[in-house]
Amino acid sequence: MRKEPFSTGDYVHVFNRGNRKLPIVKDTGDRDHFLQMLYYFNTRETPSNPFGELRKLSERLRFNLNDFVWPDEWQSHQPIVGIINFALVENHFHFLLKEVIEGGIAKFMQRFGTGMTMFYNTKYQESGTLFQGSYKARRVDSDFYLKYLTVYIQIKNVFEIYPGGLKKAISEFDKAYNWAIKYPYCSLGDYLSEGDSKIISEHFTELFSNPKEYKDFIFDCLRNVNLEDELKDYIFI
């Protein structure tokens, strides 16, 4: 398992992309499985074949894996990382994670990378690595940069796949923002929600007093800030 110099309580930006920048997801089933792994792999102990067991249990107990049901037969769900933000697009993903136990991020990412690769290779009868090397990870050392990273991860990345692209998304910001909230493969909807999320462990109240303040901050960032320059020490081009 890869060792990282992270301490409990650290926030870390994690990124990886497909080998040769090829897709890591191809359809809705792949994207849904990405979300399922965020939930089912984020615990201290899992069975050796968790999704094999889940499929059998779901057939017997009649639940959907997208409902994020935690089986009574398993050890209790005890997260090993805090998932603050995430975004999935066709050939890469971003996470903003919090180290909640020593080595938690390394353990979670080892499970996640292996799980995604095995799922993809089995489904598409491929072999070899899915990703372009090991995941990249950088510790974030201030709330100032955390605020900008939330915009970069779950807004800018998603706006870039908005119909018409980033410029159009900014020009019709309210429409694009509402579209991003409903995009299921990023954390914005859960991040803004006051309800419980099965995946996200911290909400906007940690950094912003209310959703409107966050939305105004996003608009200002996208119009007036070069996020790549501002976050040059924390992102991966």
Bridge partners (DSSP) listed for residue 88:
93
Residue 196 confidence (pLDDT): 77
pLDDT at 3 over 70: no
Report the share of the chain in percent with pLDDT over 70.
97
Answer whether 12's CB lies under 8 Å from 105's CB. Answer: yes
Spelled out in words, what is the top-level CATH class assigned to the domain 11-137?
alpha beta
- Element housing 17 (H / E): strand 11-17
Average pLDDT over residues 79-102: 96
Mean pLDDT check: name the lowest of 12-16, 24-28, 113-117, 140-144: 140-144
pLDDT band, residue 17 (cuts 50/70/90): very high
Report the share of the chain in percent with pLDDT over 90.
78
pLDDT at 1 over 60: no
Give the whole-angstrom CA distance, residue 116 versus residue 152. Answer: 23
Give the whole-angstrom CA distance, residue 153 versus residue 87. Answer: 6
Give the whole-angstrom CA distance, residue 26 versus residue 92. Answer: 12
The model's pLDDT over 43-67, given as tens digits with 9 standing for 90+, comes to 999 888 999 999 888 888 788 888 8
Mean pLDDT check: name the lowest of 101-110, 167-176, 185-194: 185-194
Give the whole-angstrom CA distance, residue 34 versus residue 195. Answer: 22
Segments making up each domain of the chain, as ranges: 11-137, 142-230
pLDDT band, residue 2 (cuts 50/70/90): low
